[in-house]
Chains A and B, each alone.
Chain A
Amino acid sequence: MKNLMKYFLPFAIPILVLVIPTEAFPIDNLTITEQRVIALFLLAALCWVLEPIPIYATSVLVIVLLLMMVSNKGLIFFRTGDPETLGTLVSYQDIMATFASPIIMLFLGGFFLAMAATKYRLDVNLARVLLKPFGKNPSHVMLGLMVITAIFSMFMSNTATTAMMLSILTPVLALFDKKDLGRVAFALAIPVAANIGGIGTPIGTPPNAIALKYLTGENAINFGEWMSFAVPYVVVMLALAWFLLKILFPAEKTEINLEIKSKFLKTPKAIIVYITFTVTVLLWLMGGRHGMNSYVVALIPVAVFSITSIITKEDLKTISWDVLWLVSGGIALGLALNKTGLAQNAVSAIPFGEFSPYVVIAGAATLCLLMANFMSHTATANLLMPIVAALGTSMESLLPLGGSIVLILAVTFAASLGMSLPISTPPNALANATGHVNSQQMAKVGVILGVVGVLLSFVMLFVLRQIGFI
């Protein structure tokens, strides 16, 4: 029965939406193209929630169906008809271009940096050096691990960071007494810090990059500006998480000795990696002062590491193309919503203008947090971001609070805070696989941090508004 729902609903409901007449929708003057976009949006939403197929496959399916059903080079009988009722078709080039959207390039650059850093053990070596000042006191070591995990996950994928840090931690966790709650604290500290740390930069986690896609024109935020408000937020959240874990799961062990056997590599290639990494991050932090935006800067490491064979042909194959395609699908969906005019039409059909902006922001963030706990953070952002962006631009009551940027950022931060279940994010799944944490313990920490985090993001946005940043 459950399987039937999983495989039947995601395809049956969109087909049903396709066949009912356009007049049946509560949106005035709905065109046939817009109706198809609604059906495809539902298909994407249901597939991302129920996962009858892998989530990146849903993205690819959405892009191909958009090309066939709403593009100007789609199937012939999807293109013919009265232009009045058919509506605006989307350029097929624009849809295909989502595979190489600047957002995707930004992520590709991030992947190259992370791969090179891992390959030349920059990550492990930095972890070793940075951990030293934290000594052997368990609570200090935990703080150190969390800080390092958060910093790394700002530039590497949250999953890879968690895997690396847990592999350092596992031998130590094995020495804990079975009854010592400290091991729960340690095993949870890593995924929690990775999830929170991902908020810190635009490339920290895909939802951030998706948000950037919708922060254009006067709302545009560059890499450095993002970090200027996101990093302080990450610091406060980390401190809260650290206190929470210490109180909930106090360690009985009095000393912890993390041994990392590794030395900084001094080969020419390793040095190129260190320099490229530093220069790229610096160029990102400088904002547009050198004329290049963060997307252009992101391609510098791609070129450098390819030329020098630091990233080889074989390494190329290990890039997480699934993550890139997942994001592409979301961008394509957003593009179709906008270009067909559906987003504007749908938003104007519902009297959002009458709602309190506070209710809309709180509602959108809560919905996002809920969804992110049960499904992929990226898929959540893919679905909510285009709607929220359209809503933000049409709601004049949002202007005194800072406009659509406030709404977009609130939703983006909430997307990273969904971490109460093993299925919420891959880092949680990894922590669960260690066998040191059970689901209740994870849920307790995840729910508290999720709710507090969303509230804290409201405070941050309020402060940013007060100082005139947004």
Chain B
Amino acid sequence: MEKINIICIDDQADVLNAVVKDLAELESHFIVEGCDSAADCEELLEEIDANGELLALVISDHVMPGKSGVEMLTELAADPRFQGTKKILLTGQATQKDTIHAINQANINHYFEKPWDKDALVNEAKKLVTEFIFEKGFNFQDFQGVIHSETLFKYLK
């Protein structure tokens, strides 16, 4: 069974912990990792790729010391190694310009405003990882419990 990762990025430790905790129910089938900066995330990306693991989803904050979330997601979108990876921007401080950039250049799949609703975030994460599972050709029956059923029907009909 291949290892599939989900990365959460936020410079504020309490926010990061909350996001990782919200995603706890996905840990049965995915490795959920937290990073406190874009640089930290990039290091992890190299490690994931070197180990031949997959990256299903990145949930990133925008305003962080160093490289911003949108900048990092833009680079990720252009990285041929992570073409299927789904991206969520989770921020309270993105300007309209940042947001436009995030949609057009970083091709984010979803935008959440802080404070976020736990159920909505988990539901969206499940939806995106289900898409990832199908796009990568995995057997959905190996992912009982984390599958988003409506997305499942969309792919199977």
Contacts and interface: CB of A to CB of B under 8 A. Distances in A.
Nearest to A170: B150
A164 B149 contact: no
A270 B79 CA distance: 40
Nearest to B155: A163
Interface string A432-468: 0111000000000000000000000000000000000
Interface string A103-142: 0000000000000001000000000000000000000000
Interface of B: 139, 141, 144, 147, 149-150, 152-157
A170 B153 contact: yes
A433 B156 contact: no
Contact of B149 (A54, A159, A433): A433
Contacts of B157: 118, 160, 163-164, 167
Nearest to B145: A433
State the main secondary structure of chain B at its contact with A.
helix
Contacts of A160: 156-157
A423 B152 CA distance: 16
Contacts of A426: 141, 156
Contacts of B150: 167, 170
A166 interface: yes
Nearest to A168: B153
A184 to B, nearest CB: 15
A429 B141 CA distance: 8
A430 interface: yes
19 contacts: A54-B139, A118-B157, A160-B156, A162-B156, A163-B153, A163-B154, A164-B153, A164-B157, A166-B149, A167-B150, A167-B153, A170-B150, A170-B153, A423-B141, A426-B156, A430-B149, A430-B156, A433-B147, A433-B149
A163 B150 CA distance: 9
Interface in A30-79: 54
A166 B147 CA distance: 15
B152 A433 contact: yes
A160 B147 CA distance: 17
Contacts of A167: 150, 153-154, 157
B136 to A, nearest CB: 15
Q: Which 5 A-B pairs have the closest CB atoms?
A: A163-B156, A167-B153, A163-B157, A164-B157, A163-B153
Contacts of B156: 159-160, 162-163, 426, 430
Contact of A435 (B139, B149, B155): B149
Nearest to A171: B150
A178 to B, nearest CB: 15
Nearest to B153: A167
A430 B139 contact: no
Contacts of B154: 163, 167
B149 A170 contact: yes
A33 to B, nearest CB: 35
Contacts of B149: 166, 170, 430, 433-435
Contacts of A162: 156
B143 to A, nearest CB: 10
